[in-house]
Amino acid sequence: MNEVLENILTRRSVRSFKSEQIKDDELNLILKAGTHAPSAMNKQCWQFTVIQNKSKIEVLAKVIREALGRDESYNFYAPPTLILLSNEKDNPNGLADCACALENIFLMANSLNIGSCWINQLKAICDEAATREILTSLDIPENHIVWGMAAIGYPNATPKPHSIKNGTIKFIK
Ligand SMILES: Cc1cc2nc3c(=O)[nH]c(=O)nc-3n(C[C@H](O)[C@H](O)[C@H](O)COP(=O)(O)O)c2cc1C
């Protein structure tokens, strides 16, 4: 099978991670893939914030839990690496650009047998005081929204494949 398609078909969202940290050269490949994603008008005005500090990941999860009334189990699935994809608030393509970067990240990770999952909850609460305070402490610019996060690590479980809906492709000839 074409190896790009095979990578796409075998990627699954992973929601259980080993605590062992991924290797720096693996992280660098993942970030290279992310930063080579397309961006509208090639602006590349995103920021990739990589957190590999367990307690900082836990503090961020706690702030989100408190803002959204989530229970203690909300912890991004406790990944050893969390990548925050942020972009300028007034960039109308900020979310689309970050989504392209995230998919590149997921596919590169999959090709290295590293698990990944999109974590979505931060985007709506970036400008709440407690959230902005922690984002600022992570060097995320005040004018940025975190559109998505990638939980990354060696998988601790093998997610099952899911079916693909029929009828989502229309041909007009
Ligand atoms: C925009 C977006 C937001 C998502 N947010 C979350 C999330 O917050 N938590 C989570 O566990 N998975 C999240 N996912 C993962 C989806 O649930 C997952 O991609 C979907 O169930 C299909 O499964 P697959 O990724 O294994 O193909 C998100 C995916 C997308 C594209």
pLDDT tens sequence for the chain (173 residues): 999 999 999 999 999 999 999 999 999 999 999 999 999 999 999 999 999 999 999 999 999 999 999 999 999 999 999 999 999 999 999 999 999 999 999 999 999 999 999 999 999 999 999 999 999 999 999 999 999 999 999 999 999 989 999 999 999 99
pLDDT of residue 93: 98
Architecture of the domain spanning 31-153:
3-Layer(aba) Sandwich (3.40)
State the distance from the centre of ligand 1 to the C-alpha of 119, rounded, in angstroms. Answer: 7
Name the residue at shortest CA distance from atom 7 of ligand 1: 119
Delimit the domains of the chain by residue range: 31-153
158 burial (CB, 10 Å; 0-12 / 13-18 / 19+) is exposed
H or E element, residue 112: none
The answer, yes or no, to whether any atom of ligand 1 lies below 6 A from the CB of 102, is: no
Q: CB-based contacts of 115: which residues, under 8 Å, 6+ apart?
A: 14, 16, 17, 109, 152, 153, 154, 155, 156
State the distance from the centre of ligand 1 to the C-alpha of 106, rounded, in angstroms. Answer: 11
Nearest CA-CA partner of 91 in 132, 40, 160: 40
Mutate to test the pocket of ligand 1, among 17, 75, 117, 160 (most ligand atoms within 8 A of CB): 117
Name the residue at shortest CA distance from atom 19 of ligand 1: 13
pLDDT of residue 136: 98
